[in-house]
Structure 1
Amino acid sequence: GSFEVKYQEPFEDKGKIGWRNAQGIEPEKFNWCVFTFPANEVDIHGAFLCSKDIPVEEIKNPILRKSNGHQGTRMVTAFYGDYLDKPDNVNHSVDAFEIPNKSDVKELSNGLFGEESRVYLDDIKEQANIQLKSIYKEIEQAQENAERKVMSLAKQLGISHHIAVSVKKSVKLTDDDDSIVKSLHIEEAKYVASKSNEARKVIEQLNHMDPTSPTYQSDLEEKSSELSALVDAQNKEELSKYVVRRELVANLLDRVLNQKLAVQTEPLPDGKKRRDKEGFIHDLIFKRKSDGNLNDLWILDEEFVHFDGCSDVPLNEIQSESGEFLLKDIPEEEIAKLQLKITKRPDIFIYASEGKCVLIEFKAPDVTLTDYMHQTPNYCTLIANYSVHKIEKFYCYLIGESYSKIDVPAEYEETVNGSWLREKIRIIHPETRERIAWAQQEIIKLSDIAARAHRRNKSFAAKLGIDDLMDGNNE
């Protein structure tokens, strides 16, 4: 291919040097050609200004600098022309051009105006780079695809935007997903190590703080600000998304209770007689027939989201993360004799810790909770008697919206949150009638759960400065 570069002449422009096309002089013509090599035969893609068939000066280009081979080949581009071959424009050893750049012209002089106008080296390079953009278009597109892959993988992994940008600058066309992920984690580790060192210095200063000092609160606030400054803006943005998502869940719960979701009021399909009212609540908080990888149990207790759990799975099919079943094998005759209901499905079962578990039952808003007070204790009795590993403490929750205080047994005490709690329910062996475990059960209204979630979310939102946005979510 070929291109032209016009002659330029300087002129005075408001006390500075300006540039304009020289009149009456034909532009200089330059040519280019591309040599393609197997990738293992040359070190890098490259482009060079040549004089008398010798590469004199490499042209720096972002595409060429980052690319390390594309589809098994590398390309070398040569730019050449009569202007570059002129003896006055290249030194005797043919390893540097004598053509000035526009930036070399610092002031106007009589001598300069007496000389012919020039084609300047920076104009030649500028036009050469325009050609390179077309020549290496396929490589540029491949590079852009690789960079997009970096950003996409970083987003999937929850890695900060600024770390992804850093890795994007050095990604190679030959990098696969595994190598990109490795680079992202390495860069993140470097960043975290640096921030951790800074944080450690701040925390070490706590040794010099005095809680009895009049300035204690202001000193603590100062240290808090120093540590907070180490949390980058991207992570603060992610935290905001986290809080906003939680508020949306609480807001959805309000709408379910108030029958405001379109799916709750639209006509039922043919053949369907009633709505799955409990299902709206259940799937909102913990999708049925799923494991614990994604749930919104934080709305009940923050700790629950970190435990191993399952939803709507038969008792005899519940397994731990290691694949071990909850219940041991029970002889058929014993199942028949004691009428054991081993296929019953707790709404939610959680392995809390060794010897402890959590059972949660949801009821539709129009169902009377006190009619089901024995459901979770019955599950506890079966589990305590036939679990593979001994479970001695059960935490049970009966959650709905409708009940009357007059129906709540005397053993239940009202909590500070307005729920009802019975702390000690005896779980017994069916034959000896001896206690083998303890259970506690709490009766909670869904509306109270939603109200508490809104309070927590609003507190976080105020700290993040997004409380106005949260108020908009509640409309």
Structure 2
Amino acid sequence: MTLDIRGSIKNTKLSTNPYVVFEELISNAIDSYLIRRSRDPQAPDMQIEIDVTFIPAGLDENQEDMIISCQDNGCGLGEEQLKAFLTKDTSYKDDLSIPGIGQCKGAGRIQYFHHFAELILESTYQDGDTFIDRKLHYLEPQKQIEAENFTSTPTNKATTGTRVTLKQLKPLVHTKIMRSEELSALFSASDLKKNVLVTFLQRLIGLDSRLGEFSIIFSSQHWSKEPQHSSLKRNDLPSVTSVKTVTAEEYNPTTNERVAEPQEIKISHYKLDTKHYDLPKNSIALCAKSSPVKDITSRYLRSKTEQNNPVGNHHHIVLIESSYLDQRVNEQRDDFDCIPAEFIPDDMFSPDGISYAAIYDAIDPVIQEMVTPADWKKETVLSLVSNQFGISEDMLKDTSTRIVYGDTPLAVAERVLKKYQERVIEETAEIMTLKDEITKSEPDSVDFREKVNELSWKYTASLKNIDMANLSQLIVRRAAVVQILDLACRKRLAIQKINSEAKRKDERIIHSIFFPMRKDSSDVTDHDIWLLSEEYHYYDYIASDLPLSKLKWDNGNKIFSEDIDQQLQKVLDKRSNENSSKRPDIAIFSKEGSVIIVEFKAPGVQMDEHIGDLQEYAYLLNANSGGKLKKFYGYLIGDTVNTLRLGGWTKFPTGNGWFQSNALIDPENNTKLGETYFEILHFEDVIDRAKKRIGVYQDKLNLKLDFQDSDY
């Protein structure tokens, strides 16, 4: 019998758990005691002593090393135990049939050799009526341990037990696993007790009376500090608050068929009153064989503050157990093997069994109910998701997306849109497959029409998914733009809060909300001219505060050509030259010969003093286009007007606006040049119209948008 140390280290990975050595020592001590108790029901109560001595690392007292010692009153290292110790992949404990002893491969003790360069094992076991002391001293660079390395001598002791001492912590472990933290801060007696309480809670409670009135005593000593002592006893264990059992099932998202056997999962919840339990953090973990393996606390308590502090005056320990997890725990017991993040259809490399996604789908609602603070409201997050991203409650239901404690609006929106994106990708692939099949079909066959029908339904379904996400985003964006315009018109944007000496630029700000200044539609595609009218969004050309000589159609041709009637040439040229420096704030053109002219006036500016601007622009644009532009729609928009100067204008039945419709007549020769329709609007009317337009879509999408006015 030989234990190959170098081979075992090479084939067993270093655990990422900094407490793994302590956990293996205590776990083995519990197993040893259970073996003794099975042989002798009258055995004394279990007692384990953990001693940690911190010593200077070499001559430098700024660095620490430590010596760990674990003493138990178990069965000792008898012949059977010695064989198991010297066998890497042992099945010794599997065959004992003793309740509470976990199955193992004997890989745990390899962590001793990963972490420390020296091991001293001192044990007393009983052989018949004789007690025997058995000892081993291992020191690197020794390559292997054989039975001959142990010494065995009869003793006068009348009790059994084992002491394991580990010395010379390896620098690589200190740097890589303990992240060079101060060892005395990580492994003090009080910290060890708290870690053992969480780690062994489920196992110790499950063993019930089989350990008797046990005690696990912790001691730590430092060369420059006072010693610490602490203990964990049976009456220190809390009672379980609740136990829930759920079933995790995996379904193929394409066929909706179950792809693996359902797995039963037990969730044990412990609420620990902070008055009696001083724990460093909350703990939610996937377990294997009654011990935490994979910490998932951050899934439910998102911030470090929430994780490390009580929730509702209680620390929470939530332990998730399943035989499925037991079977898949890795050798290092710090993660699980062969559990995919999610099921992927037709993935030949996908392992057999359920995914983490299926596990979380089953346990999330239960755990969220256990650890969510009473003052948390899902409705608050839902409102923010709707306002900020246009994600409606119907979309959440459609994608089976839950809002959980700790969720940010961004995280919820990302989950919803990812699911829609995945649907669109899958459906697009199916559509392409159907298209290929259609091209191969015979038009006079029944199969052809079935494929056409299937394609139409698939395409319709995909449009629903695409449009739901896109339309929701569009409506929320437009609602935000309306809110910004409203604030700008009331001079309540942060940029408008200036001192009295600075030049105000209110008109420029309002202008830029509708369309960026000194740009045209060849430069800008993302604008908000729909605020005036939805149809204007789709005109052929839009220009904002640009000289008329610069305006071109999308094919590069200039809007205003020199091909005009010779008899009007002199008059049109004269009129054009006199007004060459004037240009409308926004001009929108259609190739059919219509123009929309928009003039903004800053808040407080009298609009009635600029009524003639619209008429003048109409003449100017008509002249410069050689008479090709004939229909002129003009908007004069502001917030101040003297109604006594609005002769010839008609008031709208609702709102504060006025309109006027006339022929555009050349004042010199009375020739009809075109037609005009002008409106004088208050900003509040434009805002009200825009709100009503997007309101229709909000109602259909069930988006409850409520943009609040900001403080000013």
Bin for the TM-score computed over the shorter chain:
0.5 to 0.7
Task: Give the CA deviation at 1:342.
Answer: 2.4
Determine if contact 2:596/2:633 at 8 Å carries over to the other structure.
Answer: yes
Determine if contact 1:326/1:388 at 8 Å carries over to the other structure.
Answer: no
Counterpart selection for 1:454 from 677, 687, 691:
691
Determine if contact 1:377/1:427 at 8 Å carries over to the other structure.
Answer: no
Helix, strand or coil at the partner of 2:691: helix
1:252 pairs with 2:481: no
After superposition, give the CA deviation of every residue in 1:379-418 in whole Å (9 maximum; x if it has no partner). 1112223315712211111111111332212243535454
Change (3 A) 1:237 1:406: same
Write out aligned runs for 1:210-289 (5 A).
231-232=464-465, 235-267=467-499, 272=502, 274-289=503-518
Task: Give the CA deviation at 1:192.
Answer: 11
Partner of 1:342: 580
Task: Give the CA deviation at 1:289.
Answer: 0.7
Determine if contact 1:163/1:188 at 8 Å carries over to the other structure.
Answer: no
Equivalenced residue count is 308
Helix, strand or coil at the partner of 2:664: strand
Helix, strand or coil at the partner of 1:453: helix
CA distance in 2, matches of 1:238, 1:473: 26
Q: Taking structure 2 as the reference length, what is the TM-score of the superposition?
A: 0.37
Identity %: 25
Helix, strand or coil at the partner of 1:373: helix
Determine if contact 1:247/1:457 at 8 Å carries over to the other structure.
Answer: yes
Task: Give the CA deviation at 1:353.
Answer: 4.2
Letter in 1 for 2:598: I
CA distance in 2, matches of 1:186, 1:229: 7
CA distance in 1, matches of 2:662, 2:517: 29
Partner of 1:53: none
After superposition, give the CA deviation of every residue in 1:66-90 in whole Å (9 maximum; x if it has no partner). xxxxxxxxxxxxxxxxxxxxxxxxx
CA distance in 1, matches of 2:108, 2:610: 99
Helix, strand or coil at the partner of 1:470: coil
Counterpart selection for 2:635 from 397, 400, 412:
397
- Structure 1 regions of 5+ residues with no counterpart? 28-119, 131-159, 168-182, 204-226
CA distance in 2, matches of 1:473, 1:236: 28
Letter in 2 for 1:448: D
Letter in 1 for 2:89: Y
Change (3 A) 1:228 1:164: closer
Task: Give the CA deviation at 1:259.
Answer: 2.0
1:470 pairs with 2:709: no
Helix, strand or coil at the partner of 1:444: strand
Determine if contact 2:550/2:558 at 8 Å carries over to the other structure.
Answer: yes
1:328 pairs with 2:561: yes
Task: Give the CA deviation at 1:283.
Answer: 1.0
Helix, strand or coil at the partner of 1:451: helix
Helix, strand or coil at the partner of 1:452: helix
Determine if contact 1:461/1:470 at 8 Å carries over to the other structure.
Answer: no
CA distance in 1, matches of 2:97, 2:638: 80
Change (3 A) 1:26 1:379: closer
Change (3 A) 1:228 1:390: same
Counterpart selection for 1:317 from 543, 547, 550:
550
After superposition, give the CA deviation of every residue in 1:305-331 in whole Å (9 maximum; x if it has no partner). 222211001122211111222222498
Task: Give the CA deviation at 1:164.
Answer: 5.8
Partner of 2:178: none
Counterpart selection for 2:681 from 424, 440, 444:
444
CA distance in 2, matches of 1:266, 1:258: 14
After superposition, give the CA deviation of every residue in 1:318-349 in whole Å (9 maximum; x if it has no partner). 11111222222498997457753123221111
Task: Give the CA deviation at 1:370.
Answer: 1.4
Determine if contact 2:663/2:672 at 8 Å carries over to the other structure.
Answer: no
Task: Give the CA deviation at 1:249.
Answer: 1.5
Partner of 2:260: none
1:20 pairs with 2:104: yes
Change (3 A) 1:303 1:24: closer
Determine if contact 2:597/2:634 at 8 Å carries over to the other structure.
Answer: yes
CA distance in 2, matches of 1:471, 1:192: 44
Change (3 A) 1:187 1:348: farther
- Structure 2 regions of 5+ residues with no counterpart? 1-8, 14-87, 112-326, 338-416, 437-450, 564-568
Partner of 1:366: 604
Determine if contact 2:529/2:536 at 8 Å carries over to the other structure.
Answer: yes
Determine if contact 2:650/2:660 at 8 Å carries over to the other structure.
Answer: yes
1:302 pairs with 2:534: yes
Helix, strand or coil at the partner of 1:358: strand
CA distance in 1, matches of 2:682, 2:516: 20
Letter in 2 for 1:277: D
Counterpart selection for 2:594 from 332, 351, 356:
356
Determine if contact 1:278/1:362 at 8 Å carries over to the other structure.
Answer: yes
Letter in 2 for 1:370: D
CA distance in 1, matches of 2:435, 2:478: 30
Partner of 2:25: none
Determine if contact 1:395/1:439 at 8 Å carries over to the other structure.
Answer: yes
Determine if contact 1:394/1:439 at 8 Å carries over to the other structure.
Answer: yes
Task: Give the CA deviation at 1:432.
Answer: 3.0
Change (3 A) 1:398 1:14: farther
Bigger Rg over Cα = 2
Change (3 A) 1:188 1:377: farther
Determine if contact 2:648/2:660 at 8 Å carries over to the other structure.
Answer: no
Task: Give the CA deviation at 1:472.
Answer: 4.0
More helix by share: 1
CA distance in 2, matches of 1:13, 1:196: 64
Determine if contact 1:319/1:325 at 8 Å carries over to the other structure.
Answer: yes
Determine if contact 1:340/1:382 at 8 Å carries over to the other structure.
Answer: no
Task: Give the CA deviation at 1:365.
Answer: 1.6
Determine if contact 2:431/2:458 at 8 Å carries over to the other structure.
Answer: no
Determine if contact 2:575/2:623 at 8 Å carries over to the other structure.
Answer: no
Change (3 A) 1:356 1:363: same
Task: Give the CA deviation at 1:237.
Answer: 3.7
Letter in 1 for 2:11: F
Please provide the CA RMSD for this pair.
Answer: 4.8
Write out aligned runs for 1:177-216 (5 A).
190=432, 200=456
1:412 pairs with 2:650: yes
CA distance in 1, matches of 2:646, 2:616: 18
